[in-house]
Amino acid sequence: MPRSIRPLVLTSLAAAVAALSLTACTSPQGDAGAPTASASAEPTSSATASAEPTGSATAGGSGTADASGITNLPDGVTFVRGLPDGTDQPADAVAGVGWSSDGTQLFVTTFGSSTCPLVATGLEADGTGVTVELTQAGGAVCTMDLAPATTTLDAPSGVSTTAETPVTIGELGSASLPAAASPVAMGWIVSTG
Q: Which residues form the domain of 76?
A: 32-190
Query: Residues 79-101: what's their mean pLDDT?
Result: 94
7 inside domain: no
Total domains in the fold of the chain:
1
36 located within any domain: yes
**Position 13 in a domain:** no
Q: Mean pLDDT, to the nearest integer, of 75-100?
A: 92
Residue 22 belongs to a domain: no
The answer to whether 81 touches 42, Cβ cutoff 8 Å, is yes
Q: Is residue 172 part of a domain?
A: yes
Confidence of residue 106 (pLDDT cuts 50, 70, 90): very high
Mean pLDDT of 91-109: 96
pLDDT category, 111, cuts 50, 70, 90?
Answer: very high
Instruction: Tell me the pLDDT tens digit for each residue of 5-57.
Output: 444 444 444 444 344 333 334 333 333 333 333 333 333 223 333 334 333 44
Q: What does the pLDDT look like over 170-190, one tens digit per residue?
A: 999 999 999 999 999 999 999
Q: Is 4 inside any structural domain?
A: no
CB 55 within 8 A of CB 40: yes
pLDDT tens profile 118-153: 999 999 999 889 999 999 998 889 999 999 999 999
> Is 11 in a helix, a strand, or coil?
helix
